[in-house]
Structure formats: C-alpha cells, structure tokens
Amino acid sequence: MAEIQEGGGGQKGGKKRAKKQSTRIDMTPMVDLAFLLLTFFVLTATFNKPKSMELTFPAPPPIDQKQDQVKNGITFLLSKDDRIFYYEGEFKVADDPVKGPKTTISELNFSRESLRKYLLDKSKEMQDKILVLKEKFEKNQLVDTAYKRMVRDVKADPKSYTYLIKTDDKATYKNVIDIIDELNYNTVGKYVMVDILKPELDLVIEKVGAN
C-alpha cells in the first residue's frame, strides 16, 4: 500500500512500464497524523481515578464525661523527618509503684523490618484467628455475612490492642497516611487519631530537638 515509489531504480533500460495509472495513494501523512493524535490522547488520558481511603473519626465525647483510659493501647507519636516513636500502655509521668516505671518512648521507622515487623508481632494471635476463618470461608464452610461478622468480632476483641496515632506539629500528612496504611495492611483491630498531650510532646522534643 503505502510504499515508497522509487524513481528510476530497479529495471535497467528494459521495456517501458505500462501506462496504467497507479491507484495507490501515499498514506504516510495520514498515518503521521493518526499517530500524532494517538500520542496526544494517550498522554492526556487520565486513567487512574483517584483512590481513596475511608476513615471515620470518633465523635467527641460529651464535655462532662471523662475520657476512658485505653487499657492496652499502643501509642504512636509521629514527628518530623518521618520518625515514629511509640510506647505501650498508659502514659506514666513518673515512676509509680503500682503502675510501673516512668514511660519512655522507643523509636521505629517506616521500613518493612521495623514498623511492619512490630505490628505483625503484636497482632499475631488475631491474624492467626482471621486466617483460620479465611480458610474456612474459602472452603465454603462459611457464608459471606457470617465470615464478615466473625472477622469483625475478632477485631473487636477487648484483649486486642488499640492503636492511638498522635502527631506533633511537624509531622506530615504523608506520615499519617503511611501509618494508617500500615495498620490497615496488617489488619490490626482498632486505631484512632488523637490529639497529642503535653508530656508526650515533651518526650518527643527531647528526642528530636526543639526545632
């Protein structure tokens, strides 16, 4: 079809070509245009619709009601330079004979070996339970709704950890999304965003410096 007509090559001095008019049209410009348009539309096409992450925030408790202390909570404190600090249990300002020693914070980072490993260790028992349920579900021993309900029950187990996410004023939005993402990924039970407390902030500042 769209071949290049080469003038005067090929046959050497032989008989003249028939006077038949060629019906072939040079399609090159059209093809050029077609590909130009194709490239334009491919590049301007927006395929990936934005993804979203559903998040429900707790309604603030009535003012006169004292907030319940979370029994087995793990608190993550996010700070600048993607640093995460955490402590387990209740926050203790000073050494206490009943509750135990003063709270100190340890550090984690957003790598597979650090945060993910930590979360996996913490939620091992629960994940095993969910895995058993999942197996049953896949073997069709459980119906869809029952499976979902049982998974929810396992997650709501009062013995499982509650994760509290707090940030100082220098943590970025990315850090928050990353940690929520990691918690989702590891199917932990409950997590919640909470405001940071002054003594916690002081501990973080001690580690990262005031500015």
Partner 1 sequence: MSKKPSKGGAPALDMTPMVDLAFLLVTFFMLTASFRMSEPVVVDPPSSIGKVDLPDNHIMVTVDDKGRAFFGISNASAKKAALIEMAAKYKVGFTEEQIIKFTGLPSFGVDIKDLPKYIDATEDQRAKFQPQKGVPLDTITPNNQLKDWIAIGGREAVKIYLDAKTKAEETNTDFKGKKPVYAIKAASKTKYIYVKDVIKTFTDLKLYQFNLITSLEGGGTIIDPIK
Comparing C-alpha atoms, which of 91, 89, 86 is closest to residue 118?
86
Indicate which single residue of 167, 189, 191, 204 sits in contact with partner 1 (rule: CB under 8 A): 167
Residues 6+ apart with CB under 8 A from 88: 72, 73, 74, 75
- Rule CB under 8 A: choose which of 22, 44, 65, 145 binds partner 1: 44
205 belongs to the binding site for partner 1 (CB under 8 A): no
Decide: is 172 part of the binding site for partner 1 (CB under 8 A): yes
Site stretch for partner 1 (CB under 8 A), options 35-43, 63-71, 103-111, 136-144: 35-43
Selection from 160, 156, 163, 155 nearest residue 87 by Cα: 163
Contact pattern from residue 115 through residue 134 relative to partner 1, giving x for each residue in contact according to CB under 8 A and a dash for the rest: ------------x--xx--x
Contact, 161 vs 72, CB < 8 A? Answer: yes
The answer to whether the beta carbons of residues 127 and 155 sit under 8 Å apart is no
Greatest C-alpha distance within the chain = 114
Is residue 199 part of the contact set for partner 1 (CB under 8 A)?
no
Q: Rank residues 86 and 92 by Cβ distance to partner 1 and give the closer one.
A: 86
CB atoms near residue 37 (< 10 Å):
10
**Contact between 146 and partner 1 (CB under 8 A)?**
no
Residue 191 DSSP one-character state: E
User: Of the candidates 19, 25, 54, 140, which one interacts with partner 1 according to CB under 8 A?
Assistant: 54
What distance in Å separates the CA atoms of residue 37 and residue 33, rounded to the nearest whole number? Answer: 6
Q: How many residues belong to the site for partner 1 (CB under 8 A)? A: 55
Options 108, 175, 191, 203; binder of partner 1; rule CB under 8 A: 175
Say whether residue 185 binds partner 1 (CB under 8 A): yes
CB nearer to partner 1: give 57 or 198.
57
